[in-house]
Structure 1
Amino acid sequence: MFSVIADETTDKGIREQLAIVLRYVDPKGDVREDLISLLNPTETTGSALADAIIDSIQGVGLSVEQLPRLHLLEGEVEATLPESRRKRMKALCRTRWVEQHDSILTFDQLLPALVSALEKLQVGGSSEASTKATMLLGAICRFEFLIALQMAVLIFGITLKLSVALQSPSRTLADCMQLVEVTASTVSQSRTEFHSVFQKANTLASSLNVPITAPRKTGRQMHRANCGSSDNVEDHYRINGWNVVVDETVAELRRRFPRDHPALKLEGILPRNIAMADMEGIEASAAFYDADLPQPSGLRSELLLWKQMCTELSDKGQSRTLPEMYRMATTLPNVQAMLRILLTVPATSCSAERTFSAH
């Protein structure tokens, strides 16, 4: 085991000096710190200093594989993306969509530095590290991967607000459904944004010397919808990639948040809906929760009183949160029970999922 200690300064002759020291424990158990190089680097960029350190370590017969690779990436970030506030990759958390979005944005931003770091490992790392670096470079330095990454960046950007909202226990199912509708509509309308997505992938591919090509065509597709083919690369990814991603995302939002949930049928009693609500429709919806209503026979009378209370608040320009409206309905037991149902039904399982990532 060893650590690397490096420092750079200017000597009396105004020449740059780089001292590289190895810290390790010798066979007797004593801690040693030995100077292995005293260099006069011609460049002091993060990339040049990182190369000098690696060369010195390899010059004394040690493997770069034994260093933390994180420092190599940080050096490449400093050299290739000096203005980036993000310096390292972020793990992709399987149970937190908000963090997944942040992980993808970080990966997209640091991709040039990551490719540069992998190329260095490919040449200067151990055989195992070199093999892994080669495999990773082969996976990410493909236009098919780069275009998929840019698709994910845009889609996750649209769904971010919804993901954040779903983390809050104070959000009711009805509130979240409104945001789901907005999100699904925005995703659907983003179909026209593909040219911008393609241009970003195109620019990234050019900077990484990745050929801008479409995957091999096949006459019959066995594992996904065969959406046709085109000789134009942009048209190919629009038809077979982007349109499919948009449609599947909207479909998954509709599947995950179905509008036919029984509790959603009680939305008519919400202050924003009660003025235009159909009383017979609310009574029919409440029938599903008849056992939970303290006095079902008095529901119609309470709804009329509740509508008047909400109208007076609206006329005064006042608004209330759902918990505040629940407390305001203490004299209307059936309405309060219906509001309690709306407050009680969870929008997501985020609270349970957080326990997995926390432990």
Structure 2
Amino acid sequence: MLVMFAKLLGITEGLHRYLQGERLDLGRAAQCKTAILETLRDLRTEPGAEDVFKSTMTICEERHIQLPVGPRQKQKRLDGFVVESACGATSNPTTPGDFRGQLYYPCLDRMIQELTHRCSDVGEELMSGIQACNSTTATFLAEDALKSLASHYKIQLKSEELLVAKHFFKRRLEKEKVPDIATVFQIIDSDMFPTLKAVLQVALTIPVSSCSCERSFSALRRLHTWLRSTMGQERLNDLAIMSIAKDFLDAITPDNIIDRFAQLKPRRHILTLPPQQEK
């Protein structure tokens, strides 16, 4: 089961990280979701389950793990109760057919169902509208998708603006690439395309989440421990910034920081190491 979940959850791990990222684009998220659904549906075939079962058996043989055979024993704490279901009476899967029917297909179907209905109804329409704002998609500036997004936020999108914008970006894309919605928003002029500019602004605002704030609170729990209960607010803020912005901190050379600190004002002690004399 661990091998099976490692394979299935490894497919959705990229989408999970992308949805919690700071540079989230729901148009691309919709494309990633569709690609993951197609991948999971392809695993619904017989060869997919066969590969997972073979990899499970290989790992068990390498680690000398003996799979249990026969029905599982009932728990003794249920002796005084009446149980109508067949809990504890199912046998462990020992063949590829049992593995597919009891474990693999139910988990796979549940994941497909959850991903299908995760952004259904209004959310699916909004994601289609945001996807139409992205120049890299096939539905770029699609009128039906953009109007559903605009009507949800009570924006009177004009069809004339879309017609002009399609010809405008058709010429623009021949000369240069427009990678994301933010670039489209910067190119669009507010005087020439006022309603389309408002729709693009909504598309850029919706993905804003609280993941960064939640990560900062998690970092504070690791910094402000019981052994640091007397820490001041200024030092705590500095340590929190260093922990949250760790990627930028790793790119800084420590020697440059020492040299800058040494040049701030005259000091009694020399902070640089003396030159080594040759023997």
State whether TM-score is above 0.5. Answer: yes
1:206 aligns with 2:61: yes
1:288 aligns with 2:152: yes
TM-score by length of 1: 0.49
1:253 matched to 2:115: yes
CA shift, 1:276, in A, is: 7.2
User: For residues 355 and 239 of structure 1, do their structure 2 counterparts lie closer, same or farther at Cα, with a shift above 3 Å needed?
Assistant: farther
Per-residue deviation, 1:154: 0.7
Higher Cα radius of gyration: 1
Aligned length: 204
Gaps of 5+ in 1: 1-147
Contact between 1:194 and 1:238, CA under 8 Å: does it hold in 2? yes
> Matches of residues 35-46 of structure 1 in structure 2 within 5 Å?
none
Pairwise CA distance, 1:222: 6.3
Answer yes or no: is the 8 Å Cα contact 1:187–1:250 preserved in 2.
yes
What SS does the corresponding residue of 2:50 show, helix, strand or coil?
Answer: helix
Report whether the alignment pairs 1:300 with 2:159: yes
The structure with the greater share of residues assigned to strand is 1
Shift of 1:150: 0.5
- Structure 1: distance between partners of 2:205 and 2:194: 16
Unaligned stretches of 5+ in structure 2? 75-83, 222-279
Which stretches of structure 1, 4 residues or longer, exceed 6 Å deviation after superposition?
A: 228-231
Question: How do residues 15-164 of structure 1 correspond to structure 2 at under 5 angstroms?
Answer: 148-164=1-17
Taking only the aligned residue pairs, the percentage that are identical comes to: 21
Q: Secondary structure at the match of 1:168?
A: coil
Deviation of 1:327 (Å): 1.0
Asked if 2 retains the 8 angstrom alpha-carbon contact of 1:269 and 1:277, the reply is: yes
1:184–1:250 Cα contact (<8 Å) kept: yes
1:324 Cα shift? 0.9
If asked which structure has higher relative contact order (CA below 8 Å, sep 6+), I would say 2
Please give the per-residue CA displacement for 1:70-112, whole angstroms capped at 9, x wherever unaligned. xxxxxxxxxxxxxxxxxxxxxxxxxxxxxxxxxxxxxxxxxxx
2:35 is equivalent to residue 190 of structure 1: no
Give, as a single letter, the amino acid of the residue that structure 2 aligns with 1:199.
K
Query: For the structure 1 residues 161 and 214, does the alpha-carbon distance in structure 2 shift closer, same or farther, using more than 3 Å as the test?
Result: farther
Answer yes or no: is 1:351 the counterpart of 2:212.
Answer: yes
User: 1:168-191 CA deviation, whole Å, 9 max, x = no partner?
Assistant: 221222221111111121122123
Report deviation, 1:231: 8.1
Alignment partners' CA distance in 2, 1:254 and 1:313 = 35
Question: In structure 2, what is the Cα distance between the partners aligned to 1:350 and 1:177?
Answer: 19
For the structure 1 residues 269 and 197, does the alpha-carbon distance in structure 2 shift closer, same or farther, using more than 3 Å as the test?
Answer: closer
Equivalent in the alignment of 1:310: 169
CA distance 1:356–1:154, change in 2 (3 Å): farther
1:176-232 CA-partner distances (Å, limit 9, x unpaired): 1111111121122123322222122212222444333466289x8568xxxx98986
1:325 matched residue in structure 2 = 184
SS in 2 for 1:330: coil
- Secondary structure, aligned partner of 1:271: coil
RMSD between superposed Cα atoms in Å: 3.4
